[in-house]
């Protein structure tokens, strides 16, 4: 056994769980495994008659944990012949969210009971489940009237993706499930409770990240929303509120120690400290080296855009972002979360649903190659990136896509590029919103598959956003962030770190490639963006900065100027 | 030789010339031939670097005439063993337009001279050539200032598709061609002049239809626009004006008699009367049985929508339509022309350029079959039918397409249906415009390939427009209309007719199938159309009837209501 110390990061994503074993000294990932969930389509339980529904089977989370750990330990032994599980000093966990799970009196997910095994409502309500959109509207309306402060910290609108929208929708549409649930537990909290033997709802520790960003928890009003407020939505929510407690735990806190039982199942040493959970994007921010002035964009099917701001400095309530929560990303900082409801999913829609030119001609690779040859503005096309609604800054999941400027000669690659550009405009809109409220963004760090693999998209982002695009070194920034959380709860005594700054300095890094704005492209995008903003405000807010008729004509003028 | 009498109809379309030999007694088409033009792509000379350019080779018109006549006469002999070309009593000709041809001092198209053989500017400027869009704007502006009456009869805007826009563009961009041309002759006038030996520009008869609809000719100001007006656009146009004369000839007038030379070339008897030419759509109206209250829609790559109104009754200047011309369709009636710049071309674009699902899956047939299963409103999509601009009622060729309402689940067939619906909304907008100005439309007669072959499109039109859709009996209504013109200039003495009413009563008919509006579909389209109109007015005129933000949300409400 060498002197190396390792931390284990578990990252529960939308379709799979990734597990990494990281060298605490330098962030080296010595073993990585990706385990796909087994239930449903790509791990998601769908309803063909209701596109809003997206659920997961909690049993997949457990199976994934065990299979993945076995693989990672086996890889670790191959990578380092001296490797011993005893060298693992901490465990961190991140998950998607808000992904609440209804659990029984003893903390068992209802989906694991025979009675509810086939009922999607008894399963985990995945972050992208939008069945509660009517309830979200109801919660927003009531909060606007009675507790506007609840909304101020989460962008001004309560989303259908969030905790209470989902629970209230279950209460309204499947009271049998609601009544059978003792309480509802976020996926992240369920995992840390399981590993530390605290699934009993009376012992459960709930993480600050999920509670603050998705459940209107804030120290100003002593935690979760008031009982009377929830009771006005439905009297039964008063009772639910009782089960939630008032205390939540930030990311630098320990959830507990690994139990004998799970140590045995996983082949680990009992007693390893387990950090409080957090959402994948927040720990992805940590793993990407987030700090003041650095926006971390985690680009996948959707994006999360993360920023931090010192907790002891003034910060306005930024309208339209998904939350401002003390300690949700880094202790001692406000964690600010924003995001786009679909990015990669829009490109996937075009390739998989529209299938331009058929499967061979219309692949991402083929379209990217052709789209790369187009100049900004050349197609005369302009799109809105709302095929899955708009998370930030409009917080409206029911918005839809728009494509404008088609002629009889418009090609698939032109549309593909217009969709990429639309997501870049959406990204710029978020950055502008941060800066309008004083959160200066001087640097953009990207991570996720698209950031790593698609230079065209990154170059367009640099050109549209007018800032350098950097790429985080790790391909698994969320899991790395979890491992960092594990190293911090272990502390320096155990060979870890006593604070995040030290841990990030040692364990994070950037790739060498930096995408810099090309001035002539940026110049065209500076003409195009105001047109996007005009459509954005007209269709998103009903407000206009000019005549809509100009949008089509100005696009053609830009097209002509690009040609010349 | 039996007692049957025949009339010959020549129909010069965008890609081919169709020739029909028609029994004057009952309209029976005993011989038909379609001859594809040979030059360019589908008979059109294109410029890959300028999508606005579309030209044709005048030599193709002559070749087509000879080859096609030979084939028709041969078919006629097979169909009727007693057939003798002596039985042909009249000839009518229609062409596309405005399709002006620059000709030399002796009337020979410049394109037939060695010097200009390879210069597209010396060829026929096909109706859909939009290279003169800047010049169209210039003409409109000057007319608005100095002669608003010129515009009042052609919808308020002078189009880039029309006579003077094209000629002025040639003058500006290729003065060598302009200077070499003694005058410019519409394709229709060139054909009748050729057959009757009057190609000499000093003898040439110009038809009322082309002159009135496309060249601002009107009896109120004594024919073509004033010399001073044209000279202000460019001094050289004064000289051109001299060559145009002042007299134009309506459709019931004779252009002349078939010359010995052409009779010999075509295998016909010399001296057969040739009717004045007209545009294909106008004679298509005639061949479809047009009369008061009946709108004839000729649906192909684009549409022409034709109506008539008694010349002795009051008629307002209808803004946005392509012309109100005395005798352009039927003698004694105002001929009203409107149209959509693209209909079939939009569906072709989607199938041929976007190729959803590849060629096998994304054919018109496959998409139509799937689209037919969708209910109105179900997709949540809404499109504007402007991929090739908007001819009526906005008269703006530079407008572009729009698709709204996409989600991550939107399918090709949903888009295909939305594009069909968009063209139906465009068709309804034209009908509404006619009726707003007192031209009541009680019946819609459709003709052209789409009307004959696509029941889904016709049913959607019935459902959207809220009127019965009838289909003209003839598959060649334009050529039939030309044959009717031939029968009328022949007169009853020769076995033809002395007026159009008698000729149409004998020679036109409807198919048995009538598409009737389905009330429940019509009800949904009555909700959707105001949303289309809102986009139409916002993007086309810059005016709003409400908040654009409502458009997306109301589509979803309709979608939800359709599902329930």
Same domain, A212 and A339: no
Same domain, B306 and B249: no
Of B358, B400, B406, the CB nearest to A400: B406
CB within 8 Å: A353 and B410: yes
Same domain, B275 and B368: no
C-alpha span between B2 and B483 (Å, rounded): 19
B508 within a domain of the structure (yes/no): no
Same domain, B249 and B361: no
* pLDDT tens-digit series, residues B395-449: 887 889 999 999 999 999 999 999 999 999 999 999 999 999 999 999 999 998 8
Minimum CA–CA partner of B302 in chain A: A408
CB within 8 Å: A398 and B553: yes
Within 13 A of B124's CA, how many CA atoms are on the CB side?
30
**What does the block give as tokens for A554?**
């100005």
Residues of B in contact with A349 (CB under 8 A): 406-410
C-alpha span between B137 and B134 (Å, rounded): 5
| CATH number of the domain that residue A425 is part of | 3.30.420.40
Give the distance from residue B466's alpha carbon to the nearest chain A alpha carbon, in angstroms. Answer: 28
Percentage of chain B beyond pLDDT 90 is 88
Minimum CA–CA partner of B301 in chain A: A408
* pLDDT tens-digit series, residues B451-479: 999 999 999 999 999 999 999 999 999 99
| DSSP sequence for A243-309 | HH-S--B-TTSEEEE--HHHHHHHT--TT-EEEPPEEHHHHHHHHTT--TTEEEEEESSSEEEEEEE
CB within 8 Å: A380 and B399: no
CB within 8 Å: B407 and A401: yes
Residues of B in contact with A411 (CB under 8 A): 353-354
C-alpha span between A216 and A517 (Å, rounded): 38
A508 within a domain of the structure (yes/no): no
* pLDDT tens-digit series, residues A115-162: 999 999 999 999 999 999 999 999 999 999 999 999 988 878 898 999
**What does the block give as tokens for B313?**
């009754």
Helix axes A236-244, A163-173, angle to 10 degrees: 140
Minimum CA–CA partner of A560 in chain B: B50
A511 within a domain of the structure (yes/no): no
3-state secondary structure of B85: helix
CB within 8 Å: A355 and B412: yes
A319 within a domain of the structure (yes/no): yes
A1 within a domain of the structure (yes/no): no
Residues of B in contact with A545 (CB under 8 A): none
Judged against a pLDDT cut of 70, whether residue A545 lies above it is answered with no
**What does the block give as tokens for B377?**
């409103």
Of A349, A356, A399, the CB nearest to B355: A356
Residue with tokens 């710029």: A428
Phi-psi region of A69 (alpha: psi -120 to 50; beta: other; left: phi over 0): alpha
Same domain, A494 and A529: no
Mutation site for B-interface testing, chosen from A407, A413, A422, A538 by largest number of B Cβ within 10 Å: A407
A512 within a domain of the structure (yes/no): no
B511 within a domain of the structure (yes/no): no
Judged against a pLDDT cut of 60, whether residue A315 lies above it is answered with yes
3-state secondary structure of B185: strand
Mutation site for A-interface testing, chosen from B400, B553, B559 by largest number of A Cβ within 10 Å: B400
Phi-psi region of A68 (alpha: psi -120 to 50; beta: other; left: phi over 0): alpha
Going by C-alpha positions, the residue among B424, B433, B211 that lies closest to residue B297 is: B424
* pLDDT tens-digit series, residues A2-47: 789 999 999 999 999 999 999 999 999 999 999 999 999 999 999 9
CB within 8 Å: B357 and A361: no
Give the distance from residue B412's alpha carbon to the nearest chain A alpha carbon, in angstroms. Answer: 5
* pLDDT tens-digit series, residues B107-157: 999 999 999 999 999 999 999 999 999 999 999 999 999 999 999 888 788
CB contact at 8 A, B134 and B164: no
pLDDT band of residue A418 (cuts 50, 70, 90) is very high
* pLDDT tens-digit series, residues A85-128: 999 999 999 999 999 999 999 999 999 999 999 999 999 999 99
Q: State which H helix or E strand residue B230 sits in.
A: helix B227-233
Mutation site for B-interface testing, chosen from A388, A408, A531 by largest number of B Cβ within 10 Å: A408
Residues of B in contact with A353 (CB under 8 A): 408-412
CB within 8 Å: A411 and B553: no
Going by C-alpha positions, the residue among A381, A347, A391 that lies closest to residue A157 is: A391
CB within 8 Å: B51 and A407: yes
C-alpha span between A241 and A228 (Å, rounded): 10
Same domain, B215 and B308: no
- Dihedral angle computed from the Cα positions of residues A15, A347, A526 and A341, in that order, rounded to the nearest 10 degrees: -40
Judged against a pLDDT cut of 80, whether residue B68 lies above it is answered with yes
Going by C-alpha positions, the residue among B271, B178, B258, B159 that lies closest to residue B216 is: B159
CB within 8 Å: A400 and B552: yes
CB within 8 Å: A406 and B400: yes
Going by C-alpha positions, the residue among A276, A194, A203 that lies closest to residue A489 is: A276
Mutation site for A-interface testing, chosen from B302, B343, B354, B562 by largest number of A Cβ within 10 Å: B354
Residues of A in contact with B412 (CB under 8 A): 353-355
| DSSP sequence for A9-65 | EEEE-SSEEEEEEEETTT--EEEEEEEE--SSBTTBEE-TT-TT-EEE-HHHHHHHH
CB within 8 Å: A400 and B404: yes
Q: Beta strand pairing status for A100-103 and A323-326?
A: unpaired
Same domain, B452 and B492: no
B328 within a domain of the structure (yes/no): yes
Same domain, A329 and A238: no
Judged against a pLDDT cut of 80, whether residue B552 lies above it is answered with no
3-state secondary structure of B484: helix
Number of domains in chain B: 2
Give the distance from residue A509's alpha carbon to the nearest chain B alpha carbon, in angstroms. Answer: 34
Residues of A in contact with B354 (CB under 8 A): 354, 356-357, 410-412, 415
Residues of A in contact with B361 (CB under 8 A): 355, 358
Minimum CA–CA partner of A348 in chain B: B408
Phi, psi of B51 (to 5 degrees): -65, -10
C-alpha span between B402 and B391 (Å, rounded): 16
The pLDDT, as a whole number, for residue A359 is 74
CB within 8 Å: B354 and A356: yes
The mean pLDDT value of chain A amounts to: 95
Same domain, B239 and B115: yes
Residues of A in contact with B357 (CB under 8 A): 354-355, 358
Average pLDDT over every residue of A467-496: 97
Of A401, A408, A411, the CB nearest to B345: A408
- Comparing B294 with A2, the larger pLDDT belongs to B294
**What does the block give as tokens for B512?**
């048995």
Within 13 A of A121's CA, how many CA atoms are on the CB side?
19
Same domain, A82 and A168: yes
Residues of A in contact with B410 (CB under 8 A): 349, 353-354, 387, 401
Q: Beta strand pairing status for A6-12 and A16-23?
A: antiparallel
Give the distance from residue B542's alpha carbon to the nearest chain A alpha carbon, in angstroms. Answer: 4
CB within 8 Å: A380 and B387: no
Judged against a pLDDT cut of 60, whether residue B564 lies above it is answered with no
Those residues with Cβ within 8 angstroms of residue B527's Cβ, 6 or more apart along the chain or in another chain: B377, B554, B558
C-alpha span between B422 and B461 (Å, rounded): 10
CB within 8 Å: A353 and B415: no
Same domain, A156 and A104: yes
Q: State which H helix or E strand residue B65 sits in.
A: helix B58-79
| DSSP sequence for B135-147 | HHHHHHHHHHHH-
Of B353, B380, B387, the CB nearest to A400: B380
Judged against a pLDDT cut of 70, whether residue B89 lies above it is answered with yes
Lowest mean pLDDT among A182-191, A311-320, A555-564: A555-564
The pLDDT, as a whole number, for residue A1 is 60
For residue A523, give its domain range: 289-473+518-564
* pLDDT tens-digit series, residues A269-278: 999 999 999 9
Judged against a pLDDT cut of 70, whether residue B36 lies above it is answered with yes
CB contact at 8 A, B212 and B333: no
pTM, entire model: 0.88
CA separation, residue A84 to residues A89, A377, B432 (Å)? 11, 57, 81
* pLDDT tens-digit series, residues A174-226: 999 999 999 999 999 999 999 999 999 999 999 999 999 999 999 999 999 99
Residue with tokens 């030209």: B55
Same domain, B369 and B490: no
Residues of A in contact with B348 (CB under 8 A): 408
Q: Where are the beta strands (DSSP E) in A105-160?
A: 124-125
């Amino acid at each position: 056994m060498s002197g190396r110390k390792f931390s284990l990061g578990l990252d529960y994503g939308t379709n799979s769980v990734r597990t990494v074993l990281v060298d605490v000294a330098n962030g080296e990932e010595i073993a990585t495994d990706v385990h796909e969930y087994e239930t449903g389509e790509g791990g998601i339980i769908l309803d063909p008659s209701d596109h809003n529904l997206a659920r997961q089977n909690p049993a997949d989370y457990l199976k994934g944990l065990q299979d993945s750990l076995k693989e990672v330990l086996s890889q670790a032994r191959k990578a380092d012949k001296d490797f011993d599980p005893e060298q693992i000093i901490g465990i961190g966990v991140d998950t998607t969210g808000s992904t609440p799970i209804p659990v029984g009196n003893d903390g068992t997910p209802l989906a694991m009971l025979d009675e509810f095994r086939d009922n999607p409502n008894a399963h985990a309500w995945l972050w992208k489940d939008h069945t509660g959109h009517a309830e979200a509207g109801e919660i927003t309306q009531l909060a606007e009237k009675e507790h506007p402060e609840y909304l101020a910290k989460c962008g001004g609108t309560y989303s259908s993706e969030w905790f209470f929208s989902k629970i209230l929708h279950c209460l309204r549409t499947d009271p049998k499930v609601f009544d059978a649930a003792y309480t509802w537990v976020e996926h992240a909290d369920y995992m840390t409770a399981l590993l530390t033997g605290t699934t009993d709802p009376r012992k459960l520790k709930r993480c600050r990240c999920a509670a603050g960003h998705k459940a209107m928890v804030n120290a100003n009003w002593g935690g979760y929303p008031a009982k009377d407020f929830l009771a006005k939505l439905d009297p039964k929510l008063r009772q639910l509120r009782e089960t939630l407690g008032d205390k939540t735990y930030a990311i630098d806190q320990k959830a507990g120690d690994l139990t004998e039982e799970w140590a045995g199942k996983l082949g680990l040493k009992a007693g390893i400290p387990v950090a409080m959970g957090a959402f994948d994007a927040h720990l992805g921010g940590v793993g990407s080296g987030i700090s003041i002035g650095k926006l971390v964009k985690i680009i996948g099917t959707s994006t999360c855009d993360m920023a931090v701001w010192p907790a002891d400095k003034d910060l306005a309530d930024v309208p339209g972002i998904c939350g401002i929560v003390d300690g949700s990303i880094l202790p001692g900082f406000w964690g600010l979360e924003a995001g786009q409801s679909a990015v990669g999913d829009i490109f996937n829609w075009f390739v998989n649903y529209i299938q331009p030119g058929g499967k061979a001609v219309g692949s991402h690779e083929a379209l990217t190659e052709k789209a790369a040859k187009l100049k900004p503005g050349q197609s005369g096309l302009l799109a809105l990136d709302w095929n899955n609604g708009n998370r930030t800054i409009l917080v409206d999941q029911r918005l839809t896509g728009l494509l404008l400027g088609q002629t009889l000669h418009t090609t698939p690659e032109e549309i593909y590029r217009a969709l990429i550009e639309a997501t870049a405009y959406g990204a710029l809109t978020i950055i502008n919103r941060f800066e309008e409220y004083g959160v200066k963004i001087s640097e953009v760090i990207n991570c996720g598959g698209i950031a790593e693999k698609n230079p065209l998209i990154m170059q367009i982002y640099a050109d549209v956003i007018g800032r350098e695009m950097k790429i985080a070194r790790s391909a698994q920034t969320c899991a790395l962030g979890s491992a960092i959380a594990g190293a911090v709860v272990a502390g320096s005594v155990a060979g870890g770190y006593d604070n995040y700054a030290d841990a990030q300095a040692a364990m994070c890094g950037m790739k060498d490639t930096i995408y810099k704005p090309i001035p002539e492209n940026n110049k065209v995008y500076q003409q195009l963006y105001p047109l996007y903003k005009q459509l954005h405000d007209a269709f998103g807010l009903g407000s206009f900065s000019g005549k809509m008729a100009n949008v089509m004509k100005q696009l053609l003028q830009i097209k002509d100027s690009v040609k010349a």
